Structures are given as structure tokens and as C-alpha cells.
């Protein structure tokens, strides 16, 4: 999302808060791509990210009376997008497949044998999917996407220290799960 480089004026933000549909559409046009990208980083599925982007903007529209026009729109929208993505993650079954992008971030213990490497990716995907959604979101954003802790903290509505703690816990749980499956990370 744009960080301070918004094309939207303060007047548009005030009109949005008052329910002006054109102001909402202007915000949607400016922030749709970045909201989609943020959600995609968390859910790892483009079709789901599209659906959740629509859901996010629906939530933004419904929550407009809580928006403070003096504050930047992008971080507020990111927090709402994060909640939508977390809600979706909580509702998912743990058999979610690991994408090729995530697989690249996995340990390559058996890079020489594609069959073994695929099995490790599959087991790691299941271990990752079994993480609690709040830990999974923090780990994806910090470890896989390499987002700054400060940005993750703002999106999740927690402190930077809490982000670090969630990532630490997620990695510890992943390591334990993988070790129980006979895989040494």
C-alpha cells in the first residue's frame, strides 16, 4: 500500500467518512491493488485474495464511520484486510497446499532427489497449515514474504515485540511438528 504517497486528498477522506460513494470509489481505485497484494501474501491463493479484497472493501465501507480522516487510509485498510485474511485462514482446513513460492523458502535437505524434496515440501505445507492462524500470518509475512516487523505489527494491530514472539513461536512449532514427522529442519 502506498506509504504517504496517496493521490487521495483529505477532502476525499472526509467525504468517504460521510458516505460519499464517489469518494469510496476513488479510495477503492487507488488502494485495490495494494490491498489485494497484502491479502495474497497471507492467503497464498489469487482467487481467494480477489474474494477477500472485495470483502475487505465491503468491510471498509461498512466501517467508514470509524475512520479518522486525519489519519492515513492505507494502514487502516491494511488492518481490515488482515482481519479478513485471518478470518479466512481460521476457517480453512489444515490440508492447504504449499505454493511453489513458499516451497522455495523451505529447507532443501534432499535437493538431489525430487521425490524426497516433494515429500518434505508436502509435510512442511501440512505443518505450516496446522499453525494457529495468528502465528501462520505472522510467519508468512515475516519469514516467507520478508515484510518489516513494523509493517506486520501495524497490520495485525499488535506490537513489534508481539510480531517477533509470534514468529518465534511459529518457527518453534514448525520445527517440532517436522521433527515429529522425522524431518530435521
Give the pLDDT score at 98: 47
Longest dimension (CA), the chain: 60
Q: Is residue 87 part of a domain?
A: yes
Last residue of a domain, which of 65, 91, 117?
91
Buried b (16+ CB within 10 A) or exposed e, 109-142: eeeeeeeebeebbebbbbbbbebebbbbbbbbbb
**CATH number, residue 134:** 1.10.10.10
Q: Are residues 19 and 75 in the same domain?
A: yes
111 and 146 part of one domain = yes
Same domain, 79 and 139: no
- Could you tell me if 113 and 47 lie in one domain? no
* Among candidate residues 91, 116, 142, the one where a domain is terminated: 91
What torsion, rounded to 10 degrees, do the Cα atoms 34, 36, 37, 39 define? Answer: 120
Residue 117 lies in a domain: yes
Q: How far apart (Å, rounded) are the C-alpha atoms in residues 105 and 66?
A: 39
Q: List, for residues 58-89, the tens digit of each pLDDT value.
A: 999 999 999 999 999 999 999 999 999 999 98
Whether residue 1 lies inside any domain: the answer is: no
| pLDDT tens-place values along the chain, 185 residues long | 444 445 567 789 999 999 999 999 999 999 999 999 999 988 888 999 999 999 999 999 999 999 999 999 999 999 999 999 999 988 885 544 444 444 444 444 445 567 677 777 778 778 888 889 889 888 888 887 888 999 888 888 899 999 999 999 999 998 998 888 888 76
Q: Would you give the DSSP letter of residue 169?
A: H
> Are 30 and 83 part of one and the same domain?
yes
Boundary of a domain, candidates 91, 115, 145: 91
φ and ψ of 28, to 5 deg: -60, -50
pLDDT tens across 103-117, in order?
A: 444 444 445 567 677
pLDDT of residue 7: 57
Residue 4 is assigned to a structural domain of this protein:
no
Amino acid at each position: 500500500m502506498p506509504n504517504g504517497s496517496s493521490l487521495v486528498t483529505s477532502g476525499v477522506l472526509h467525504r468517504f467518512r460521510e458516505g460519499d460513494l464517489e469518494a469510496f470509489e476513488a479510495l477503492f481505485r487507488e488502494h485495490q491493488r495494494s490491498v489485494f497484494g497484502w491479502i495474497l501474501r497471507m492467503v497464498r491463493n489469487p482467487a481467494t485474495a480477489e474474494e477477500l479484497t472485495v470483502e475487505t472493501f465491503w468491510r471498509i465501507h461498512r466501517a467508514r464511520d470509524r475512520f479518522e480522516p486525519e489519519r492515513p487510509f492505507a494502514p487502516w485498510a491494511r488492518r481490515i484486510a488482515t482481519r479478513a485474511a485471518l478470518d479466512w485462514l481460521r476457517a480453512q482446513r489444515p490440508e492447504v497446499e504449499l505454493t511453489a513460492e513458499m516451497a522455495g523458502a523451505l529447507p532443501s535437505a534432499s535437493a538431489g532427489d525430487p521425490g524426497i524434496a516433494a515429500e518434505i515440501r508436502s509435510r512442511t505445507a501440512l505443518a505450516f497449515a496446522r499453525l494457529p492462524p495468528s502465528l501462520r500470518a505472522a510467519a508468512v509475512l515475516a519469514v516467507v514474504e520478508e515484510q518489516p516487523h513494523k509493517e506486520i505489527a501495524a497490520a495485525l494491530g499488535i506490537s513489534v515485540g508481539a510480531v517477533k514472539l509470534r514468529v518465534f513461536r511459529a518457527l518453534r512449532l514448525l520445527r517440532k511438528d517436522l521433527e515429529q514427522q522425522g524431518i530435521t529442519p
